[in-house]
Structure formats: C-alpha cells, structure tokens
Chain A
Amino acid sequence: MADHVRKQLRDAATTRVTNLATTGTRVHGFRVDPLQLTALPALSVWTPSERPEALTIHAPINYQRDIELRVTGIAAAVGDVDDALDLIAKEVEIALATALTVGGKSVQLEYLGTEQRYERGDKTGGTVELTFVARMFATGAAPDVPL
C-alpha cells in the first residue's frame, strides 16, 4: 500500500525544494526540536491540515481534498534577517510554481500567502512561512491512491 496522499504530496514538494541555492539539502519535515544555528538556513515542509468535501453519496465516498502545504524557511543573521527570508521565499515560490507529480497525477499548488516572524538572540532569528493548497482527489477507502 502506498503512503497517504498527504505524505506523497509532502514528499514531492520536499524533493522539489531540495538543493535550492540558499537552503541546499537542509530540508526537514515538521520540526519538534529546534535547529542549531550551524544548521541554518533551512526549510521545513509539512502538511498541517486537510479539508475534505464529499463528491459522491455512496461508499466508497470520493473526496475532494484541499491539502494545506506549508514550507517554512528558517534563518539567522547579524542584524536584519528579512532579506535572507525573502530570498528563501523567492526560491521556494519559483520551485513550487509548476505542477508536482503525485502518484502519477499532476497537482498544481496554489500559493495562499506568506508570514514572517523575528526574534532577537545571539543572532536575529527569523522564519518565513509560505502556505500553499493542493486540490487532490481520493476515496475514503483508498486515501493513498490519487484520482
């Protein structure tokens, strides 16, 4: 059995944003533990939510699934960090501008917006969180098979 479509989507997006000029191979999944300063700049790719809508009545119900994909850029700099964050955001947006292939299906990400945050420390730390949504289809009986 294949992975859930959310994981397939996340994996495809992770592959797409790996080896970007600024963040390189420092691409992670959802982070529970913090990153060390020496491990920055980096990206975190995660899918925190999915909004399903039933398209059929009888089982197995076919769902339209709007899956939220977030890519968080993490950086630290002496002084202002927003320039580095905007560069990361630019590279991620470009990388995800064209459709991904998920389970043999073409999936176009829609860009929903960006939010930056900052905090003073040894160096100024910052994050830029880009939110996308992917519209996918899969039945409740086979959430691992994109339709």
Chain B
Amino acid sequence: MFTEDLSVFFDTDDFAEDATYDTVNTIAVIFDRAYLEQLGMIASAEPTALTRAADVAADPTGKPLVIRGVTYTIRNILPQDDGAVVLLHLERAA
C-alpha cells in the first residue's frame, strides 16, 4: 500500500506552525482566521486549522487546540479529498 508523506505539506519552515492538540500533543497545522461577517451584523472571524487526519482523533470535536497562545475548541472536522488531511473548524474557548 502506498503511504503518502504529508510532512512536506506541513513543514513549519513554510506555511505550517506548531499547535498543541488535546493539551499534550504537538501537531503541525496550517492556521487561518479569515474575516467573517456573522449574520450580516457581527464583525468576526472564522478560525480553521488544516492538519493530517492521523494527528487527531477520528472525532476530535470538543477537544482543545492551542495556536499562537490562544485556546480554541474544535467544533467540526471536515475531511479533505481522500481524507488524509482534515480541516478543523474552531471556536475560541473563552
């Protein structure tokens, strides 16, 4: 079976950065926090983290993810393409 080497896509010397998943695990993520106008009335942002599926649980919802010193809660997991990479939808924990 062919095993993809995804590490090249999550090189912290390029676009990825370290994040702390579920309190103790350091994983590489590509973080994004684009502007979001919620309901047309609230100026907000939509934080997401792209990471390897193997680095998180099959259902990581509810677990904490600390990025750049900010603690987020994982609210949803969206498998990308073949599922080897997942997009995590995040919400600030406080």
A interface residues with partner B (beta carbon < 8 Å): 31, 34-37, 40, 44, 72, 74, 76, 78-79, 117-127
Contacts and interface: CB of A to CB of B under 8 A. Distances in A.
Interface stretch (B23-31, B40-48, B53-61, B78-86): B40-48
A74 B91 contact: no
11 contacts: A36-B43, A78-B91, A117-B39, A119-B39, A120-B76, A121-B42, A122-B46, A122-B91, A123-B44, A125-B42, A126-B39
A125 B75 CA distance: 14
B92 A123 contact: yes
B8 interface: no
A120 B42 contact: no
Contacts of B89: 120
Interface of B: 33, 36-47, 73, 75-76, 89, 91-94
A122 B92 CA distance: 6
A36 to B, nearest CB: 5
Interface of A is mostly: strand
Contacts of A123: 44, 91-92
B93 A121 contact: no
Contacts of B47: 122
A67 B41 CA distance: 23
Nearest to A38: B43
A120 B39 contact: no
Nearest to B90: A122
Nearest to A75: B42
Contacts of B45: 121-122
A119 B38 contact: yes
Given A74-B42, A76-B44, A127-B39, A120 B75 contact: yes
Contacts of A121: 36, 38, 42, 44-46, 91
A72 to B, nearest CB: 8
A125 B93 contact: no
Interface centre among B33, B47, B91 (most CB of A within 10 A): B91
A98 to B, nearest CB: 28
B39 A35 contact: no
B89 to A, nearest CB: 7
Contacts of B41: 31, 34-35, 44, 72, 74, 125, 127
